[in-house]
């Protein structure tokens, strides 16, 4: 996928807007997950802004692509991306985790149908995506299924069963995108339950494997486009990310996995992000 420099710049600006929305939502909620939400802002911006076949004004469109968020705790990034791409007003982000809000701590499809699935228990998303992708094949439909997963949820057995099933049925309309930030709530994934060699494990299950810098917008789009050309097997993109990306005091610190910024911390984060937004625009 070849985009002009201006189009790439606009996507980078939009990713910054998504990050600012995450910070505002988490600070207003007083709870939630910061690190993973921030580090997946570029991926979600690429998906909603360029990759997905979707229509925010027609969320039940039968031929839309399906995007599933398996690691539901990073819901703020999905909500912020959806708001920034027209699914609901950006101001609604401030209702995150409030009683009666459509924006619960983990996505809930009945109150917010455009999220496709209710997620919370880790490890379920890929299995759900396999079912959807197989259904599309049986119905001879050309829509695609994208499943965003965390690296740590690979510690769940159901995920590996889904990997086997996708390989068996050669689901080349299924793409898994892994947030490879190396953290979970108690520390490093490689200390708690090592995942490497992660790519080789997918290859052994008959998947085509790609890796990408999860913060390089041009590389993300190019890699997704290459993955879409693969025939006869499912694809996985290992997106190497920095937890807390964009906020200096959060970057690389696993303790921000499951906590929000307070008012002062949020103000600092927003200042940093606004400065970064201005730098992006200045380099046009």
CATH of the domain at 44: 3.40.50.970
Residues 6+ apart with CB under 8 A from 241: 39, 40, 43, 179, 180, 181, 214, 215
For the chain (length 284 residues), average pLDDT per consecutive 10?
A: 88 98 98 98 98 97 98 98 98 97 96 92 96 98 98 97 98 98 95 97 98 98 98 98 98 97 98 97 84
Distance CA 168, CA 164 (A): 6
- Output the six-digit token pair for 185: 């709530």
Q: What is the pLDDT of residue 118?
A: 94
Q: What is the pLDDT of residue 1?
A: 54
Count of structural domains within the chain? 1
Q: What is the pLDDT of residue 284?
A: 63
Could you tell me the residue range of the domain that residue 127 belongs to?
Answer: 5-282
CA torsion angle 99 112 250 150 (round to 10):
130
State pTM to two decimals. Answer: 0.97
Q: What is the pLDDT of residue 106?
A: 96
- CB atoms closer than 10 angstroms to residue 76: 31
């Amino acid at each position: 996928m070849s985009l002009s420099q201006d189009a790439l710049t606009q996507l980078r600006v939009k990713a910054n807007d998504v990050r600012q929305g995450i910070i505002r939502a988490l600070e207003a909620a007083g709870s939630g997950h910061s690190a993973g939400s921030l580090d997946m802002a570029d991926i979600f911006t690429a998906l909603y802004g360029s990759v997905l076949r979707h229509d925010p004004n027609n969320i039940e469109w039968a031929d839309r692509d399906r995007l599933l968020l398996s690691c539901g705790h990073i819901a703020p990034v999905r909500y912020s991306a959806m708001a920034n791409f027209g699914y609901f007003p950006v101001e609604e982000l401030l209702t995150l985790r409030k009683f009666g809000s459509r924006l619960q701590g983990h996505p809930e499809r009945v109150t917010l149908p455009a999220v496709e699935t209710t997620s919370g228990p880790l490890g379920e998303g890929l299995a759900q995506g396999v079912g959807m992708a197989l259904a599309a094949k049986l119905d001879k439909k050309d829509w695609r299924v994208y499943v965003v997963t965390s690296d740590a949820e690979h510690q769940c057995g159901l995920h590996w069963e889904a990997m086997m099933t996708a390989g068996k049925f050669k689901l080349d309309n299924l793409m898994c995108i892994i947030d490879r930030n190396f953290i979970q709530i108690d520390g490093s994934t490689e200390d708690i339950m090592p995942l490497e060699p992660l790519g080789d494990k997918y290859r052994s299950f008959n998947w085509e494997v790609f890796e990408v810098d999860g913060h390089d917008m041009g590389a993300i789009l190019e890699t997704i486009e290459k993955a879409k050309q693969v025939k006869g097997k499912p694809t996985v993109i290992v997106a190497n990310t920095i937890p807390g990306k964009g906020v200096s005091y959060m970057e690389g610190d696993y303790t921000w996995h499951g906590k929000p910024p307070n008012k002062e911390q949020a103000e600092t984060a927003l200042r940093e992000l606004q400065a970064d937004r201005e730098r992006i625009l200045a380099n046009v």
